[in-house]
Structure 1
Amino acid sequence: MQLKHIKLSGFKSFVDPTKISFPTNMVGVVGPNGCGKSNVIDAIRWVLGELSAKNLRGESMVDVIFNGSEKRKASGQCSIELLFDNSSAKIGGEYASYNEVSIKRVMTRDAQSDYFINNAKCRRKDVQDIFLGTGLGPSSYAIIEQGMVSKLVSAKPDELRTHIEEAAGVSKYRERRRETESRIKRTKENLSRVKDIRDEIGRLIKRLENQAKAAEKYKKLNDEKSQIELDTAILFSLEAKNNRDDLQKKLDSLNRDLKIKNAESETIQSQIDQFRTENESVLTEYESAQKNFYSIGAEIAKREANLQNINKTENETKFKLEKTKENLEKAKETEKNFDELSPSEQAIHILNEIIATLKKYSIQNDSILDKANKLKVLLAEILNIASAQSKTLTEEYQSRQEDLSKEIFEAEKLKSSIEEEMQTYVEESSQAESVLISLRQKQSKFNEDLRSLENNKSIVELDSRSISEKITNIRLDLKTYEINLENSNKKIKAAGIDIEKIDFTKYEDLSISELEDKLADIEAKIIRLGAINLAAPEEIEEESKRKEELDKQYDDLIEALDKLNGAIKKIDNETKTIFKDSFDAVNIKLKEVFPKLFGGGLAELNLTDDDPLHAGVILMARPPGKKNSSISQLSGGEKALTALALVFAIFDLNPAPFCLLDEVDAPLDDLNTLRFINMVEEMSKTVQFIFITHNKVSMERSDYLMGVTMQEAGVSRMVSVDVNQALELAES
């Protein structure tokens, strides 16, 4: 089986769709640092189902998708496809008939991966199952990346054992053992569940057996109950026939009494209706008299209100008259005082004396004299105006007094008129009240007679209702007897007994009360039994069948468990044998390869335990001329050669389809590189080698060179050279 080519798209620096072909068994991948050479190995590891981002030199799985550059946008997904030549049918199973097998993996930005085998969608497990035991499984020794050389030689015993197991094909047995253990676990779980169900069904059957005993007791008591109920029905049938006729006679008698009472009630009702008709004229007259009485009372109330208003107005007028008289007297007093010497007159007199004094003493001052004369004239005018006003006010008060006196006179006159009208209305009201009292007496007599008739009617109706209730009760009793008789007859017929052929003389010594007491006793016993499961016998039969099936399943599971444990032992024995043989073969080959690479020395593998099934593997290596006690004391180049010796020894045991080497010759000098490449060239006859290198010796010895360039920043491109063709062209 050989890797023919890889198709990459959107994976790390290979953004463009790129096809990398591997036409020979020694293909060298070269290029400057950082151009994406190791991405080729990462692509192969990724498509084979790698889930660790750390092993792919990233922090998350999404990091394998091209993340963009200065000139390009990030890709939305990446895809890798490997095409294998399967003409040797090394990939077996359903794919053995295919000459070519393609493995493809596609992942989007949401970290969702899809796997395809020959373009048919599949699971990751399906991809890994194809390569189990070929050296390309999860513990692959065919892919040696940078840093893995030192990890391989310094690996823990258990880790180193996995590589031997992968070469020995034990990984397939390991997978089968894990699957068998998983089946054993599920079988034990099923066994536990079946056992629990069996135990539960066993307990259920015991409970059902107790319930079946209770059901048997219940059936016996129920049969006794049915017999007593039948005897009761026969006795009740006999009693009901006798009582039914008596009840019918009572019912007929009460119906006659009810008809009499109903007729009497109708007679009284007709008397009441006639009495009310005759009394309608009295009611009309009473209503008219009442209306007249209220009308007269309203007129009297209206005039009383008018009289109150007149009295109120008259009192107010009298008060105003008294005030007017007082004001008139004051006005007269004021007019009288003006005849005496007032302050104004006194002022005029003083002015006259001043003027006389001026003239007497011949004081020549015309200004003072003129002003004194003017003041005298003004005072005289003021005095005349005040006198005139005093006389006008007196006349006004006298006129007001006369008007008020006239108003009081008119009010007294109106009062007399209203009092005369009120006297007339009072007499009319007295007459109307007398008529109303008379009519009330007639109405009271009518109401009393009407109540008497209605009381008589109520008594008759009460008697009718009492009779109706008795009739209803008798009908109910009669209906009850009929229903009970019918039910009794049904029970008797259901028991297969002909009613006409019953010998009632056998039941003369029985009474219904005694039978009812027995029935109550039996029912009490039934109640004490509690809930009864009448289906318990059928359920016991059903659960017993179920338990038999579970017992069979339990035995089958025990048998399956024994077979699985036997399979585990067989797998362990086969694993132990195969591993021990493979371990010895690798150890022999290692002792042969190591001296070739080192020019001498010794290397061997040892088990950590006597049990080959679980023992770890320890690698011991002593280059020529050294007596080191552990691998850690070797130099970097020595560790690399030791790891390669181990890988080549493993490859000799079980050659993988191809071997990927990522700069494993970097720590080697030219001599050791030559030894290494000679070994590779020798093994390339059966194994395809794809190695990444910077070493000129390795480049020269390769058949086919793949150049990885990065002319555009962040984007890898491939350039291929067939070395053999190039040499032929150079020689020609």
Structure 2
Amino acid sequence: MFLKELEIYGFKSFGKKIKLSFNSGITAIVGPNGCGKSNITDAVRWVLGEQNIRSLRGKQLTDIIFSGNHQEKPLNLAEVSLTVNNYEKLLPLDWEEINIKRRIYRSGETESFINGIPCKLKEIQELFMNTGLSKNTYSIIAQGEVDLILSAKPPERRYLFEEAASISKYRHEKKKTLDKIGETNNNLDKIENIISEIKNQLLILEEEAEHLNSYKISQEEIKNLELFLIYQKYNLCRTNLSKIKINLEEYEKEKNKIIKKIKEEETAINSLSIELDNLSKEQEKYKYDNYELDNRKKIIQSELNLMLQKKSDVEKRLYDLNKDADNITQKIVIGEQNKKAVSLNILEIDKKIESFNKKLIYSIKDTNTISKLAGSLNVLEINSRKVLKIISEKELFLKEAKIRYSTTFNIININLDKIRKKRVLLENQLENMVTKESDYQKIARESRKIEDETNLKSNEEKIKEIENILKELQAEVEKDRHVIILKEERKNILRKSIETNRKKNEQKVEVFYSKYCQKYPDDPCEKIIKFIDNIPSKYEKIMKIALRESFNSIVVSDISYALNIINFLSENELEKLKIIPLDLIKNIKTLPGNQGEIKNNNICGFAHELIDYSQKYQNLFKVLLGNVLIVEDIKTALDISNKYLGKYKIISLNGMVINMDGSVDIYSTSTNSENSQESFYYVEKEIEKYEEEIKTLKIKIERNNNFIEKNNNIYNSLWKENQDIKRLLRENEKKVTDSINNLNKATVSLNEQKDGLKNLLIEENNILEERKKISGKLRILEKYYNTLSEYNKNISHSVKIINQIVTRGNNRINNLSRDINNLKNIIIINKEKLISIKEKADNISQYKDEHSVDLKGKRSTLKEYNEKLADISKNINEYKIQINRLNKENPSVFKKAEEIGEILQRKSNLLKNLQQDKINQQKTYESIKDNQHREEILEVQYREKHVNIGEEVNKNYNLSLEKLELYKNISGSQKEANQKIDILRDNIIKVGQINFEAENRYHNQLQRYNSLSEKYDEICKAKKIMEITILEIDQIATERFKKTFNQVKTYFNDIFKKIFSGGEGRLIIESEEDILNSGIDIIARPPGKKTQNIELLSSGEKALTAIALLMALWKANPSPFCLFDEIDTSLDEVNAEKLTHILKGEDLNHTQLVLITHQKTTMEAADTLYGITMEESGISKLVSVKFEK
């Protein structure tokens, strides 16, 4: 026995404390509607952990507290206590008796207790997991939920099977583990962010320490190189001033030549324009004449089409008129024929009327004769009926007496049969009891306890050995998985670091550009991307590769602005910035590539030709992209590089770059990797190295996993065998105890049956004597009744003959009367028909006259339409002649207009060429003028530069211009000096502000970095262990679910057949691949019906199907007790009996059943009966009855 007591106080309608004690077998709870029976189900569900107030039929939490009535005040708390016997240790606690209590106050505060010890509600829910007694399981079915089992969707129905498979606890553990993994991931992200930040700080601190020593040396070298560059500027300034003077003289000569040419072209343009105007006017005249001819032709053609249509309409009308005339003629002929037929009908009807009058007179005479004979027979019939009535009354009296005695005789026979059957039944029961007595004695003697206990010990030793092996293998697998994770992280760390630094540098450039424009708004400074008007989408990613080194460069008009930028760089902590001065670019003599010399169809073109930009930046993009050749694919790039290596930089559209020095760069052109700056080959080499190591480890893990799986199967098999042995031992002990009890009961029952058999034999003899007396009286009554019946038959026969004669006479009279009426009606009908035919003859004559008039009108109309048709045909011929004439005139006019158009086109093209040439000359003139103006500005600028250089040298370096000659050999070239300065300044800028505490800070951060890395590794290990736990949970849950589902499937079909006395019930899982998440369908086929969806079953069939499923789940995993609230509501008496038979079956007799019911049959099957009443308004009261067996 598992469930012991249930105490309820203040819960819903239980305003006073009640206590229910439960024994083995079936406990029924009954009572009228609304008395609070279902509140017991709600109380049990609530104390077991139900939190959804709607499922407890409430709106808010405090609705479950007793709310009072007109006499009782509302209570401030509700309390439910459930006591269970745990001697079999089904619940994982050491106590043999466990009391679960839950309490709620009006404030909403709740308390939970286990054996009086406060606990969390979660602990109660976890305690009953996998017992079949947690909330919303198949063991506790609330009112109306039996229908929801079938109406629920397949995924919603699977929770019943999970509880039966005892995997709800696994699902709960999996959820907790997944929540922990989520928290672990958050912690890992936080630590990873901190580690990344510290790593960046370490790089910075290390660089600060290294650059501290080289700072002063770099500053001295920069000073010398700057003086060398100033000398170069000074020398360049002198050279440029002489060049500018020569250029200005050449520009003036070119301007004079262009002005003269423009004047000549303007004269030619004016002459051509006048000639074109005259030709245009002449062409317009011919076009207008051609247009007029076309219009006249269209008008005549439309009129011709109209005439043709009219002709068609007239011909159709003529056809219809001829047809109508023929029809009228035919109707006149038919009218003549009808008139002759009507005259013949009139003569025939007159003859029929005369014949019918003769028949009528004969029928009236025959009717009067038959009526007199019928009167005499009626008198004779009345006298016979009076005699017959007297005989019938006596016969009825005798019949009733006979029935009374027969009934008494039959009752005696029935009672005698019952007694005999009862005697046979008692004799059989007596034999069965004797047999059972010997069986119970035999069971008590037999036991396999010693053998089962030996097997149990052996299996437990094997299980411990396998557990140790599995732990070692799992630890090794976990270690290998952790190594894989570390190698994956190391593989990505370099790429991630480079990407982070590159992005930061780009962001710094953007910030620098924005701040510089705000501080120096007058300095013409712009990013190179701003000068590009359009990049075709096809070449967008390739251009980013081609301009990779210059993409974030700043373009200035004059090199003098670079000084402000240099000072501003150090203020904004930017390591490097590329500046492109347009004044220097302009003097570079560029030799852009010639695509014509390269013969290959897969060449897209030189990079500067594939983008759109302003003409004034042409020199800039020729310098940057003039020697960059874009091709379609890698093969073309390789072919061209064999011949032109060193002359062009070649880029393929799929990201391969062949540099002029022969080196090759590989770039990804995908969206995700377009910003990547690492070499393809380098990354591939690193990936291959780590992937080879990871692959080896994965093979090792797979081999260990296979061994683990094999041992797991052995472990599960042994564990299952142990459980079966334990169950057999318990069942064996219980079976022996039950057999001894049953033996004692059988002995008592045997004696009772013997006494009952003796009493039945005495009662049987008394009934036989009474039956003999009643049999004699019945024979006397039968004889007298037969004599009277014979006399009654003779008189009845005579009356029947008289009745037949009277009936035949009446039938003859009725037939004659009917014939007379029919003849009168026929005569009247023929007279009316005669009048109608005469009227029809008159109508036919009138109809003929009307059609004759109509025929004359139709023939007149025919004549008019024939004349109209002749006129239309004449007009059509005239229109055709006009159209032919216009068709001859039109081509000559059109041809003349085309000739003038061709001359006009040639002259226009000539004019356009002259105008375009003039525009080009003007552009050339403006270009020369601009160049001349720029040269003049440059002359002024260079003169200012000459003065500024002298002031700069004197101010910054305290030197005169003459002493600059000393620094002219410091470097080999200006480019080399700039490169050295850039390198030195880059080093200084990278160092930034010197930090003398860098070394100490570096060591502290390194120690912190190592500590966090160890912590990160430990958390990763814990995460991997949790992930392995989830896999194990899923594997165990899947196996248990499959096994339970197959059991339930078999049991469901068996129970379905028992309940319905045939048919078929099937369970189908929706997806075998995802068994832990797929729904379950129910297919039911009651006997004599086709397989159908459960929605098409009747309410009774649905209830029985749901009960069959509950019983199958119960059988697959028997729960200690079950509480069913009105599951038999939809069942009739026969099906209710079937249900009680199933509930009391041998498979389920070890489980406590608590049934809330209205069915009498279910009450009769109960061992204990509780009644719920509501004597006081709103307060439920308990009444109990225990039945003796």
TM-score bracket for the superposition, by shorter chain length: 0.5 to 0.7
Matched residue type, 1:712: E
Q: Residues 220 and 55 from structure 1, CA distance in 2 versus in 1: closer, same or farther, beyond 3 angstroms? A: same
Aligned to 1:487: none
Q: Residues 705 and 542 from structure 1, CA distance in 2 versus in 1: closer, same or farther, beyond 3 angstroms? A: same
8 A contact 1:606–1:619 mirrored in 2: yes
Matched residue type, 1:198: I
Q: Per-residue displacement from partner, 1:476-521 (whole Å, max 9, x unpaired)?
A: xxxxxxxxxxxxxxxxxxxxxxxxxxxxxxxxxxxxxxxxxxxxxx
Q: Which of 653, 657, 662 is equivalent to 2:1120?
A: 657
CA RMSD of aligned residues (A): 2.4
Aligned residues: 419
Aligned to 1:707: 1171
CA distance in 1 between counterparts of 2:994 and 2:1175 reads: 92
**Percent of aligned pairs with the same amino acid:** 39
Aligned to 2:207: 210
CA distance in 2 between counterparts of 1:46 and 1:70 reads: 27
Q: Which of 192, 195, 200 is equivalent to 1:198?
A: 195
1:193 to partner: Cα distance: 1.4
8 A contact 1:30–1:705 mirrored in 2: yes
8 A contact 1:3–1:84 mirrored in 2: yes
SS in 2 for 1:679: helix
Aligned to 1:686: 1150
The within-5 A match list for 1:516-665 is 533-611=995-1073, 612-665=1075-1128
CA distance in 2 between counterparts of 1:620 and 1:598 reads: 14
Q: Per-residue displacement from partner, 1:640-663 (whole Å, max 9, x unpaired)?
A: 111111111111111122111111
The within-5 A match list for 1:137-536 is 137-213=134-210, 533-536=995-998
SS in 2 for 1:721: strand
Matched residue type, 2:45: R
Q: Which of 94, 117, 120 is equivalent to 2:117?
A: 120
Q: Are 1:675 and 2:1155 matched, yes or no?
A: no
Aligned to 1:300: none
Aligned to 2:126: 129
1:556 to partner: Cα distance: 2.5
Q: Which of 100, 104, 107 is equivalent to 1:107?
A: 104
Matched residue type, 2:127: I
Q: Residues 16 and 139 from structure 1, CA distance in 2 versus in 1: closer, same or farther, beyond 3 angstroms? A: closer
Unaligned runs of 5+ in 1: 222-525, 728-732
CA distance in 2 between counterparts of 1:132 and 1:661 reads: 19
1:532 to partner: Cα distance: 5.2
CA distance in 2 between counterparts of 1:705 and 1:644 reads: 22
Q: Residues 212 and 602 from structure 1, CA distance in 2 versus in 1: closer, same or farther, beyond 3 angstroms? A: same
Matched residue type, 1:90: L
SS in 2 for 1:621: strand
1:165 to partner: Cα distance: 0.7
SS in 2 for 1:24: coil
1:549 to partner: Cα distance: 2.0
SS in 2 for 1:706: strand
CA distance in 2 between counterparts of 1:627 and 1:199 reads: 69
Q: Per-residue displacement from partner, 1:175-231 (whole Å, max 9, x unpaired)?
A: 11111211221221122112111101101111222333466679999xxxxxxxxxx
CA distance in 1 between counterparts of 2:196 and 2:77 reads: 56
SS in 2 for 1:103: strand
8 A contact 1:194–1:550 mirrored in 2: yes
SS in 1 for 2:1154: strand
1:628 to partner: Cα distance: 4.4
Q: Are 1:717 and 2:717 matched, yes or no?
A: no
TM-score w.r.t. the length of structure 1 is 0.55
1:685 to partner: Cα distance: 1.6
Q: Residues 684 and 653 from structure 1, CA distance in 2 versus in 1: closer, same or farther, beyond 3 angstroms? A: closer
8 A contact 2:1115–2:1148 mirrored in 1: no
SS in 1 for 2:143: coil
Aligned to 1:60: 60
Matched residue type, 1:722: K
SS in 2 for 1:627: coil
1:684 to partner: Cα distance: 4.3
Matched residue type, 2:29: V
CA distance in 1 between counterparts of 2:1091 and 2:110 reads: 48
Aligned to 1:41: 41
SS in 1 for 2:1144: helix
Deviates more, 1:585-594 or 1:175-184: 175-184
SS in 1 for 2:1185: strand
Unaligned runs of 5+ in 2: 219-987
SS in 1 for 2:50: coil
1:618 to partner: Cα distance: 0.7
Q: Per-residue displacement from partner, 1:107-162 (whole Å, max 9, x unpaired)?
A: 11122211111111111111100111111223411111221111101221111111
TM-score w.r.t. the length of structure 2 is 0.34
Aligned to 1:439: none
SS in 1 for 2:187: helix
1:534 to partner: Cα distance: 3.7
1:35 to partner: Cα distance: 1.0
8 A contact 2:207–2:991 mirrored in 1: no
1:567 to partner: Cα distance: 2.0
Matched residue type, 2:1030: I
8 A contact 2:11–2:79 mirrored in 1: yes
CA distance in 2 between counterparts of 1:543 and 1:195 reads: 15
8 A contact 1:139–1:166 mirrored in 2: no
Bigger proportion of residues as helix: 2
CA distance in 2 between counterparts of 1:177 and 1:220 reads: 65
Matched residue type, 2:1150: T
Matched residue type, 2:1151: V
CA distance in 1 between counterparts of 2:1095 and 2:141 reads: 19
8 A contact 1:25–1:684 mirrored in 2: no
Aligned to 1:4: 4
Q: Per-residue displacement from partner, 1:49-90 (whole Å, max 9, x unpaired)?
A: 212221111111111001110101111111111111111100
1:583 to partner: Cα distance: 0.5
Q: Per-residue displacement from partner, 1:240-298 (whole Å, max 9, x unpaired)?
A: xxxxxxxxxxxxxxxxxxxxxxxxxxxxxxxxxxxxxxxxxxxxxxxxxxxxxxxxxxx
1:580 to partner: Cα distance: 0.7
Q: Residues 13 and 562 from structure 1, CA distance in 2 versus in 1: closer, same or farther, beyond 3 angstroms? A: same
8 A contact 1:164–1:582 mirrored in 2: yes
Q: Residues 718 and 100 from structure 1, CA distance in 2 versus in 1: closer, same or farther, beyond 3 angstroms? A: same
SS in 2 for 1:107: strand
CA distance in 2 between counterparts of 1:532 and 1:687 reads: 84
Bigger radius of gyration among the two: 1
CA distance in 2 between counterparts of 1:556 and 1:690 reads: 53
Matched residue type, 2:70: E
Q: Per-residue displacement from partner, 1:308-344 (whole Å, max 9, x unpaired)?
A: xxxxxxxxxxxxxxxxxxxxxxxxxxxxxxxxxxxxx
